């Protein structure tokens, strides 16, 4: 393809959409701790100093949703309703019902909880088999949170976003062309000091020196001040950061969000399985880039279709790769069992991408 530029973005755990994802998965994890067969579809909206929790939950677990909400807001670091949200005084509305019996008809027979298409992707641009643009964007967002929580940079608040543009030549990343970081801060934080600190303690600590040069462009809080943040600045909603959660735009997305959904929802479980398959195809040397699609019908156990794309990088044919994939049980129950998806692991996945994290079951490399 010659020379081209590609960009991915990430957000910190204090971004209002991520706060909603976190609360949704905190509710899910708490249900699974007490009842591994919990059916959960939990959606959250955050606006101003109010949190709205809705959805369908069928479980034997006895959970206090209001307590969970306040705990997670506090853990993120919020505490000022004048500029973001206060965990102690915020109003919490809970509107939860049980799973629809019509949906349960399909799930009870171990079929998919809904129809849908799911994608998984992997490439050899990083050791994590993730695209370098989203890998660097996540690393910057994570570091931004670390310097705030550890008081390495004083005066930062929880909300923030990052963005990285990488220049490629013949599909090989050669340099970082642009870095964008916007971070919420206290009212009295000097902007010029903030820019220098973010450059030194975030960008220079994350991005390898060999990828930066005199032409790399830096945009740190480009609008100037960023005092009002979190749900006070923007309404937050569960499932609105699906590209941040996956591959930063480098691969296709089926449209279904992850957070707040138990593993009977193939939006989540099959997406994790697609990642497992794509990663292992690349890790085993069958391609340097791979995208897998699975599709399902509600109430039906096996996938309706399987699609493989190695973008011309395959060392074996797609037919041979398909044979290796068909060894696995791709029914929802088979995926849940293999990846141990009834465990309360979902809060760990919420921030800085669901993929590329060590220790998550869908990231395990095996011999195929």
CATH number at residue 154: 3.30.300.10
Question: What does the block give as tokens for 152?
Answer: 């390495």
- Any domain includes 334: no
Position 111 scores a pLDDT of: 72
Q: Please tell me the total count of domains within the chain.
A: 1
Contact by Cβ (8 Å): 19, 83: no
Q: In a 10 Å sphere around its CB, with 0-12 CB exposed, 13-18 middle and 19+ buried, how is residue 301 labelled?
A: middle
Q: Is residue 216 one of the residues assigned to a domain?
A: yes
Residues 6+ apart with CB under 8 A from 75: none
Asked if residue 101 has pLDDT above 70, the reply is no
Q: Does a structural domain hold residue 193?
A: yes
Whether 110 has a pLDDT exceeding 90, the answer reads no
Tell me if 106 is assigned to some domain.
no
343: left (phi over 0), alpha (psi -120 to 50) or beta: beta
- Residues with Cβ within 8 Å of 284's Cβ and at least 6 positions away in sequence, in order, are 367, 368
82 located within any domain: no
Q: What is the mean pLDDT of residues 141-154?
A: 98
Q: What are phi and psi of 77, to 5 degrees?
A: 115, 10
User: What span, in angstroms and rounded, lies between the C-alpha atoms of 199 and 164?
Assistant: 14
pLDDT digits (tens, 9 = 90+) for 156-171: 999 999 999 999 999 9
Range of the structural domain that residue 155 is part of: 3-11+131-228
In a domain, 198, yes or no: yes
Q: Give pLDDT, residue 226.
A: 95
* pLDDT tens readout for residues 70-84: 999 999 999 888 888
pLDDT in tens, 227-280: 999 999 999 999 999 999 999 999 999 999 999 999 999 999 999 999 999 999
What is the pLDDT, as a whole number, of residue 2?
87
Kindly state the helix (H) or strand (E) to which residue 306 belongs, with its residue range.
strand 305-309
Handedness of CA 198, 202, 203, 205 (dihedral sign): positive
Dihedral sign for Cα atoms in the order 256, 257, 263, 269: positive
Band (98; pLDDT cuts 50, 70, 90): confident
Maximum C-alpha span of the chain: 62
User: Is residue 246 included in any domain, yes or no?
Assistant: no
Query: Does residue 167 lie within any of the structural domains?
Result: yes
What is the C-alpha separation between 70 and 25, in angstroms, rounded?
Answer: 14
Cα three-residue angle 150-208-154, rounded to 5 degrees: 20
């Amino acid at each position: 393809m010659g020379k081209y530029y590609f960009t991915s973005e990430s957000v910190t755990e204090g971004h209002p959409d991520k706060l909603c994802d976190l609360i949704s998965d905190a509710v899910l994890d708490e249900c699974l701790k007490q009842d591994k067969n919990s059916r959960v579809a939990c959606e959250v909206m955050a606006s101003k100093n109010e949190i709205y929790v809705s959805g369908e939950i069928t479980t034997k677990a006895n959970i206090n949703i209001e307590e969970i909400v306040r705990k997670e807001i506090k853990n993120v670091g919020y505490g000022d309703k004048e500029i973001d949200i206060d965990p102690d005084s915020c109003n919490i509305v809970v509107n939860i019902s049980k799973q629809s019996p019509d949906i349960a008809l399909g799930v009870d027979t171990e079929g998919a909880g809904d129809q849908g298409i799911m994608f998984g992707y992997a490439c050899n641009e990083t050791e994590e088999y993730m695209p370098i643009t989203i890998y660097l964007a996540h690393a910057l967002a994570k570091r931004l949170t670390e310097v705030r929580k550890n008081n390495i940079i004083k005066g930062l608040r929880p909300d923030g976003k990052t963005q990285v543009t990488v220049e490629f030549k013949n599909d090989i990343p050669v340099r970082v062309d642009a870095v964008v970081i916007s971070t919420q801060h206290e009212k009295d934080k000097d902007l010029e000091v903030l820019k220098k600190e973010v450059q030194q303690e975030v960008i220079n600590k994350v991005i390898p020196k060999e990828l930066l040069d005199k032409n790399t462009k830096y945009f740190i809080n480009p609008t100037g001040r960023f005092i009002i943040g979190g749900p006070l600045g923007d309404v937050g909603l569960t499932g609105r950061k699906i590209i941040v959660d996956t591959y930063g735009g480098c691969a296709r997305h089926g449209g279904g969000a992850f957070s707040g959904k138990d593993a009977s929802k193939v939006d989540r479980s099959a997406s994790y399985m697609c990642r497992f398959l794509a990663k292992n195809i690349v890790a085993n040397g069958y391609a340097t880039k791979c995208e897998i699609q699975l599709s399902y019908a509600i109430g039906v156990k096996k996938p309706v279709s399987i699609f493989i794309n190695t973008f011309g990088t395959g060392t074996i044919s797609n037919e041979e790769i398909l044979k290796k994939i068909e060894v696995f049980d791709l029914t929802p129950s088979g995926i849940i069992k293999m990846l141990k998806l009834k465990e309360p692991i979902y809060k760990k996945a919420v921030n800085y991408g669901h993929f590329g994290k060590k220790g998550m079951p869908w990231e395990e490399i095996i011999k195929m």
